[in-house]
Chains A and B, each alone.
Chain A
Amino acid sequence: MDLLASTLVYGLVNSAVLLLTALGFSLTFGLSGVANFAHGGLYLLSGFLAWMLVHYLGLPFLVAAAVTVVVVGAAGAGIYRAVVMPVRGIVLSEVISTFAAGVAIVEFFRWRGFTTYDFSLPALVEGGVEIAGVSVDYQRLLIVAIGLGLTLILWVLTHHTKMGLALRGMSQDEYTALSVGVESDWAAMLSLALGSALAAVAGLVLLPLGIISINTGYDVLLIALAVTVLGGLESTAGLIAGSLILGFAMVITGNYLGPRWSEVVYLGAIVVVLAVRPSGLLGKSKELEDRV
């Protein structure tokens, strides 16, 4: 009974973690079709940037967090201008150049020696509470709230504002969008900036759960890919469903088979979903055409 309750609670928390992790990647991909393989690098960058702002400049954490989100967002826009724009439309080059940018960021921090146990971010809220006999700290509840809140905000943004509609129009049919006055480079840059800022938010909220380890940079990218692939692109419901399925699957395998199995789960999910149902669980046919 205890194990069941903890599975339920932590499955939910883990799903929110995955949702937050994948949000930025999925948003960028859904809005402009750019697969930002630097997502993990930007996530890691946000963690270390906030840490440096707090420890070297002595800023309060909330201020540092706000600065970080803005800076990482700008970095995303910069990545688009410098790296993606010159090769826009060539899938091979887009993938390679963003992947290289991500690896460069991650390995830069490894080189600078950001590998010890000193690097951790403070939690926004301390303390915890018991839910159905399982103790959960406030930070994890905050993650659930922020994950759901951001998803809702983004859904409104992309479905009910002019900007969001313009961006989605571009991802659906670039030429038509151009002809009604959506400037594709600005739109794509904006979507990448937004996606990167979301990666930063995710980093700032999730990294306090443990120490900041370098390999998180790669894991985050894979998790984002797994959730996006599983749920189907540009489908908010798919994103939530994907994170719930993976989140619970990871916690269940982790609880019953041992913690190492949870990594096998999300990697396996990518492979199995792409092999069996390439459009994802809630994907639409247009996306299928890109994939297969």
Chain B
Amino acid sequence: MSRAPRSHRKERIDRGIKVRSDDIFAIGSARDLAYVVAPRALAILALLCFPLLQGLVSRYWQTVMLNTLVIALLALSWDLLASVGLISLGQSLFFGLGAYAAGWLDAHLGVSPLLSIPLGTAAGALIATAVLFPLLRLRGHYFGLITFALPLLFMRIVETTGILGGTEGLSSLKPLPGRTTELYLATGAVLATLWAYRRMSATDYGLVFQAIRDNERSVMAAGFDIQWRKAQAVFLAALPAAFAGAFVTHRYQFVGMPAFALEYSVLPLTAAVVGGAGSFLGPVVGSFILVPLSEAMREFGSLRVVVYSLMLLLFTVGLPEGIFRFAARKYGQFERLAPIEEAPDGK
């Protein structure tokens, strides 16, 4: 049953244009420059133009776009946590805390959305960090487990004690000014988060996060307080997610127990895994694939969730690098078969 020895192997080589544009930006030709700039510039331009196309795009698909952006924010937040080695199975914790913070500010203090969204974001992120702080020592399974349990716990507490409106939720909150504002707010938040996270991961400050993921003990040995660093990472990750919560609260003018729903945990997780964790762009790409797909399947009811889970499974096992890295590799490299050279002693 032994396999015949192969005479060729696959090898990957950078495309010529990638090599040129990687190294010599200053004197690149227009084609080289376009090779580097076009993909990201086109994507950003498309995002920024979308709200202007309201005459062309039906209201339904605008809503889908908003949901996509919200999931993208949660997925970005997931990716930052993962880059510190904290695996979250409960992004809805951050989402729900942001949503309730904004809702409470509006319902009890009568603050306008202009204030309640930023304040709700900050308060939600702070509360989430405070709640997770004693639990940051946990690793691997256990952190996943705790983040899975926490949103459910909050949901039960709200249900049982009847605080914050209980099962009824807080309703008739103030709306956002209009569709265009909503779209630009969400788009701006996604782009700003993406930019900030990517910048941060290239600085020394961001490198410490990745080092904690790779080897906690050596980071401790280097004199960093990893507990405190992880808390900072949780706060930074909680910001966009809490913003998403506060935003959705004002968009629906309602906040209730569904803010802690499993959907807000599973969708971002799937988006991050499908798109490819670790690059911040992957999760955004993933949510732009996943959410419209799930809208298209809306009539199939909870079959959607089965499909997400199976996609999650397939990508975790079959394409762990995710779609984004895969596409980026195809864009920058090509593959060819190279003959295998025999070792000198014939082995």
Report A74-96 CB contacts with B as 1/0, cut-off 8 Å. Answer: 00000000110011000111111
**Also in contact, A271 and B306, with CB within 8 A (given A83-B317, A261-B160, A291-B139):** no
Within 8 A of B (CB), among A32-49: 35
A196 within 8 A of B: no
Contact A97 B316 (CB under 8 A): yes
Contact B302 A271 (CB under 8 A): no
Contact A278 B300 (CB under 8 A): no
B-chain residues with CB within 8 Å of residue A82 when the two chains form the complex: 317
Contact A274 B138 (CB under 8 A): yes
Within 8 A of A (CB), among B270-314: 273, 300-303, 305-306, 308-310, 312-313
A260 within 8 A of B: yes
B89 within 8 A of A: yes
A-chain residues with CB within 8 Å of residue B149 when the two chains form the complex: 222, 225-226, 267, 270-271
A157 within 8 A of B: no
**Also in contact, A267 and B137, with CB within 8 A (given A103-B309, A104-B313, A107-B309):** no
B82 within 8 A of A: yes
Bound together, the chains give a CA A53 to CA B142 distance in angstroms of 37
Bound together, the chains give a CA A274 to CA B145 distance in angstroms of 10
Contact check: which of B141, B273, B317 meets A35 at CB < 8 Å?
Answer: B141
B140 within 8 A of A: yes
Contact B309 A101 (CB under 8 A): yes
**Also in contact, A104 and B303, with CB within 8 A (given A92-B87, A96-B273, A271-B153):** no
Interface centre among A111, A222, A268 (most CB of B within 10 A): A111
Contact A104 B300 (CB under 8 A): no
B134 within 8 A of A: yes
A8 within 8 A of B: no
Contact A292 B313 (CB under 8 A): no
**Also in contact, A270 and B145, with CB within 8 A (given A87-B316, A100-B316, A292-B139):** yes
Contact B313 A264 (CB under 8 A): no
- Chain A residue at minimum C-beta to C-beta distance from B272: A96
- Chain A residue at minimum C-beta to C-beta distance from B140: A91
Contact check: which of B137, B138, B320 meets A93 at CB < 8 Å?
Answer: B320
- Chain B residue at minimum C-beta to C-beta distance from A93: B316
Contact B309 A100 (CB under 8 A): yes
Bound together, the chains give a CA A292 to CA B230 distance in angstroms of 13
Contact B301 A111 (CB under 8 A): yes
Bound together, the chains give a CA A210 to CA B335 distance in angstroms of 59
Closest CB in chain A relative to B94 CB, distance in Å: 16
Bound together, the chains give a CA A225 to CA B143 distance in angstroms of 12
B-chain residues with CB within 8 Å of residue A276 when the two chains form the complex: 134
Contact A271 B301 (CB under 8 A): no
B119 within 8 A of A: no
Bound together, the chains give a CA A276 to CA B305 distance in angstroms of 35
In this complex, the interface size class of chain B, counting residues with CB under 8 Å from chain A, is 35 or more
Contact B317 A260 (CB under 8 A): no
Q: Is the interface of A mostly helix, strand, loop or mixed?
A: helix
Report A201-237 CB contacts with B as 1/0, cut-off 8 Å. Answer: 0000000000000000010001001100100000000
In this complex, the interface size class of chain A, counting residues with CB under 8 Å from chain B, is 35 or more
B-chain residues with CB within 8 Å of residue A270 when the two chains form the complex: 145-146, 149, 153
A-chain residues with CB within 8 Å of residue B150 when the two chains form the complex: 271
Closest CB in chain A relative to B6 CB, distance in Å: 22
Bound together, the chains give a CA A96 to CA B143 distance in angstroms of 13
A110 within 8 A of B: yes
Contact check: which of B142, B144, B269, B305 meets A107 at CB < 8 Å?
Answer: B305
Contact B153 A260 (CB under 8 A): no
B36 within 8 A of A: no
A155 within 8 A of B: no
A263 within 8 A of B: yes
Contact A97 B157 (CB under 8 A): no
B152 within 8 A of A: yes
Bound together, the chains give a CA A86 to CA B152 distance in angstroms of 30
A-chain residues with CB within 8 Å of residue B157 when the two chains form the complex: 264
A-chain residues with CB within 8 Å of residue B309 when the two chains form the complex: 100-101, 103-104, 107
Contact B87 A95 (CB under 8 A): yes
A-chain residues with CB within 8 Å of residue B179 when the two chains form the complex: none
B135 within 8 A of A: yes
Contact check: which of B82, B138, B269, B313 meets A291 at CB < 8 Å?
Answer: B138
A61 within 8 A of B: no
Contact A96 B137 (CB under 8 A): no
Contact A271 B146 (CB under 8 A): yes
Contact A95 B141 (CB under 8 A): yes
Contact B320 A264 (CB under 8 A): no
- Chain A residue at minimum C-beta to C-beta distance from B131: A271
A138 within 8 A of B: no
Within 8 A of A (CB), among B129-170: 134-135, 137-142, 144-146, 148-150, 152-153, 156-157, 159-160
A-B contact pairs, 29 of them (CB 8 A): A82-B317, A83-B317, A87-B316, A87-B317, A91-B87, A92-B140, A93-B316, A96-B87, A97-B313, A100-B309, A100-B316, A101-B313, A103-B309, A107-B302, A108-B303, A108-B306, A110-B302, A111-B302, A222-B149, A260-B156, A267-B149, A270-B146, A270-B149, A270-B153, A274-B145, A274-B146, A290-B142, A291-B139, A292-B139
Leading 9 A-B pairs by shortest Cβ distance: A104-B309, A267-B153, A107-B305, A100-B312, A91-B140, A100-B309, A275-B134, A103-B309, A110-B302
* Apart from A92-B82, A111-B306, A225-B145, 10 more pairs, CB < 8 Å: A87-B317, A92-B87, A95-B89, A96-B87, A97-B313, A110-B301, A222-B149, A261-B160, A267-B156, A274-B138
